[in-house]
Amino acid sequence: MARAESYVLNYVGGIVTLLAGVYTAVTGNLLGFISISESLGAAMVLGFGIWGIVVGIVVILGGMAIQAGKIFAGSATSLIFNGLGLVTGQGFVIGPVLGIIGGAVGFKTKTK
């Protein structure tokens, strides 16, 4: 795989994670709006959604760095945040897995 596949995998993983974070945040917000008695649980769901949005955006930025030629920095950022996203269950698991593969491939890519 070349650099092209590496940043594409990061983009796809970041977009999946971002969309899952938006879905989780909206669900948490709706739970808090519908049921006041479960507001703590809704706040936790909202917090996980916001974390998913942050992870998705940072992974997309890592893909942009790889595309711009800053392969080491982009791959390191991608691996760190996808690992954190995988541990916290973001992106329906497939998003962080794609990002981790993209980051690992980025590290293997030789710069010219």
Which run of H or E residues covers position 102? helix 94-108
Check residue 12 and give its pLDDT.
Answer: 96
pTM above 0.95, yes or no: no
DSSP string over 18-78: HHHHHHHHHHHHHHHHH-STTHHHHHHHHHHHHHHHHHHHHHHHHHHHHHTT-HHHHHHHH
Cβ burial 43-55 (10 Å sphere, 16+ → b, else e) = eebbebbebbbbb
Name the domain count of the chain. Answer: 1
Domain around 56 = 3-108
Q: Which residue has the tokens 């709006």?
A: 33
Supply the pLDDT for residue 57.
97
Average pLDDT estimate for 40-62: 90
Cβ count near 87 (within 10 Å): 9
Q: What is the pLDDT of residue 83?
A: 95
- Name the average pLDDT for the chain: 88
pLDDT at 50: 93
Check residue 111 and give its pLDDT. 60
